[in-house]
């Protein structure tokens, strides 16, 4: 048993499998960052920092004639979303009920995906520098008129090409922008989604939490998501009525090439 | 050529099991070769001959590692135990016991060895 303490929960193996499967199904559509950046790991709960390969000079070495340097690392951050499930519902799930109420888990999964996206694309104060924060390209907007969307997306691609950042490219779209894109057919009936995919030569992903859109190069080596403990369900406590669980992960995120992304404000 | 890597009638074995047995035999042969080179190098006094054999045993290390990786890829439980034992600092026996317990006796539900949902990277998943 590890730190998640799953074996201590009053939950059968069968229901644990159902909970894990439900969480996977709910998380995967919204985990936009993982669809666009390089992923490494998981390296375990004990993994605490990412090597940056950089040092800071130390001013007072322990002896004359000796230079001292301290390694700089990027500490991992932890995300955790607590939720609780009714024990009656879990008992029903054990009996084979196909409609057991797992809504609190679904909500927690959505919040976790949203938090991961926000941290990666827009940053997290004092903890994570986001892709949009780091990008040196600015001034582009998507706007409200979907007929104009291809223009800023093509400009974003061209801006990156000018800096030597090759494709293919992918785009994370906020919820509202994604909805607009998939429902829009341009003049002549050509789907806007297909048009944008042709410009990017890569995927367009639904990204809850993203403000506007973020276009990134998918050539690799530009954005590094390092997973410590990958997304997991852990056990906290229980009483006669509910079981308290949580979704958890630890990770670091590093932008290696800021110019390999362009944020498009809404 | 013998067929003594099979302990059951080969005709009755599925193709995948015969392949598995071949790679197990190959793994054994590589391990034997490493042991033989270790002994030869230990008693050889000609430095040039030692250099040649050191180079040769490096090949055996590679072959052994490739065989092992092949077998682990096809045997999830073995792979899971190996992950708990290989390249881990500390007490080998302790790690082995823990890894075996995790892999074979199982944690809660159908969790992965680290208890996670096993989602990992999603490049190539567009929606």
Tokens describing residue A114: 């949203």
Per-residue pLDDT tens digits for A53-89: 999 999 888 898 999 999 999 999 999 999 999 999 9
End-to-end CA separation in angstroms for chain A:
46
pTM confidence score: 0.74
Per-residue pLDDT tens digits for B24-47: 999 999 999 999 999 999 999 999
Residue B110 above 60 pLDDT? Answer: no
Distance CA B77, CA B73 (A): 10
Q: What percentage of residues in chain B have a pLDDT greater than 70?
A: 87
Pairing of the two strands A169-173 and A204-206: parallel
A227 touches chain B (CB under 8 A): yes
A-chain residue closest to B105, CA distance = A1
Of B117, B123, B125, the CB nearest to A232: B117
What is the nearest CA distance from B68 to chain A, expressed in angstroms?
A: 21
Residue B114 above 90 pLDDT? Answer: no
pLDDT value of residue B124? 72
Which residues, at least 6 apart from A179, have a Cβ–Cβ distance to it below 8 Å? Answer: none
Contact between A57 and A63 under an 8 Å Cβ cutoff? The reply is: no
CA-to-CA separations, A108 to A84, A124, A234, B19, B60, in angstroms, rounded: 10, 19, 12, 45, 50
Contact assignment for B117 to A45 by CB distance below 8 Å: no
- Of residues A90, A128, A79, the one with CA closest to residue A238: A90
Distance CA A85, CA A81 (A): 13
pLDDT value of residue A123? 95
A114 touches chain B (CB under 8 A): no
Residue B2 above 60 pLDDT? Answer: no
Which residues, at least 6 apart from A172, have a Cβ–Cβ distance to it below 8 Å? Answer: A32, A33, A36, A117, A121, A205, A207, A210, A213, A214, A216
Low-confidence ranges of chain A (pLDDT < 70): 1, 187-189
A231 touches chain B (CB under 8 A): yes
What is the nearest CA distance from A173 to chain B, expressed in angstroms?
A: 11
Q: Which residues are bridge partners to A242 per DSSP? A: A86
What is the nearest CA distance from A75 to chain B, expressed in angstroms?
A: 19
Helices (H), chain B: 15-43, 47-73, 76-85, 92-100
Per-residue pLDDT tens digits for B64-106: 999 999 998 888 788 889 999 999 889 999 999 988 887 766 5
pLDDT value of residue B100? 86
Residue A227 DSSP code = E
A204 touches chain B (CB under 8 A): yes
pLDDT value of residue B85? 93
Contact between B10 and B22 under an 8 Å Cβ cutoff? The reply is: no
Residues in chain B: 127
Q: Which residues are bridge partners to A72 per DSSP? A: A54
pLDDT value of residue A259? 94
DSSP string of A50-92? EEEEEEEEESS-SSTT--EEEEEEEE-EEEEEEEEEEHHHHHH
Q: Which residues are bridge partners to A38 per DSSP? A: A224
Contact between B67 and B26 under an 8 Å Cβ cutoff? The reply is: yes
Residue B9 above 60 pLDDT? Answer: yes
CA-to-CA separations, A132 to A135, A180, A204, A262, in angstroms, rounded: 5, 21, 17, 7
Residue A230 DSSP code = P
Average pLDDT, chain B: 86
Which residues, at least 6 apart from A60, have a Cβ–Cβ distance to it below 8 Å? Answer: A68
Tokens describing residue B45: 């006094």
Contact assignment for B109 to A229 by CB distance below 8 Å: no
pLDDT value of residue B1? 44
């Amino acid at each position: 048993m590890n730190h998640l303490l799953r074996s201590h929960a009053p939950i059968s193996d069968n229901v644990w499998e159902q909970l894990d499967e439900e969480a996977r199904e709910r998380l995967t559509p919204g985990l936009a960052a993982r669809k666009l950046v390089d992923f490494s790991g998981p390296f375990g709960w004990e993994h605490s920092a990412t090597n940056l390969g950089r040092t800071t000079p130390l001013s007072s070495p322990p002896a004359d004639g000796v230079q001292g340097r301290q390694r700089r690392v990027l500490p991992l951050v932890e995300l955790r979303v607590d939720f609780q499930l009714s024990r009656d519902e879990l008992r029903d799930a054990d009996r084979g009920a196909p409609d057991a109420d797992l809504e609190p888990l679904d909500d927690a999964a959505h919040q976790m995906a949203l938090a991961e996206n926000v941290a990666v694309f827009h940053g997290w104060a004092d903890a994570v520098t986001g892709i949009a924060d780091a990008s040196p390209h600015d001034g582009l907007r998507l706007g409200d008129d979907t007929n104009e969307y291809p223009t800023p997306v093509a400009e974003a691609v061209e801006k990156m090409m000018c800096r030597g950042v090759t494709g293919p490219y992918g785009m994370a779209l906020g919820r509202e922008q994604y909805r607009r894109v998939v429902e829009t057919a341009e003049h002549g009936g050509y789907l806007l989604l297909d048009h944008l995919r042709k410009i990017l030569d890569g995927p367009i992903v639904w990204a809850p939490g993203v403000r506007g859109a973020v276009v990134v190069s998918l050539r690799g080596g530009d954005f590094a998501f390092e997973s410590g403990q990958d997304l997991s369900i852990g056990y906290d406590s229980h009483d006669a009525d509910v079981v308290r669980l949580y979704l958890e992960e630890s990770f670091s995120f590093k932008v290696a090439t800021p110019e390999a992304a362009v944020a498009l404000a809404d | 050529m013998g067929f003594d890597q099979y302990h059951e009638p080969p005709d009755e074995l599925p193709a995948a099991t015969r392949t598995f047995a071949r790679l197990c035999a190959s793994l054994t042969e590589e391990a034997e070769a490493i042991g033989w080179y270790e002994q030869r190098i230990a008693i050889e006094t000609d430095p040039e001959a030692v250099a040649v054999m050191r180079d040769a045993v490096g090949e055996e290390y590679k072959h052994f590692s490739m065989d092992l990786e092949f077998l682990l890829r096809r045997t999830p439980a073995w792979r899971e135990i190996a992950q708990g034992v290989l390249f881990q600092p500390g007490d080998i026996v302790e790690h082995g016991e823990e890894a075996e317990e995790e892999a074979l006796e199982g944690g809660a539900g159908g969790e992965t060895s680290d208890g996670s949902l096993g989602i990992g990277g999603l490049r190539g998943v567009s929606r």
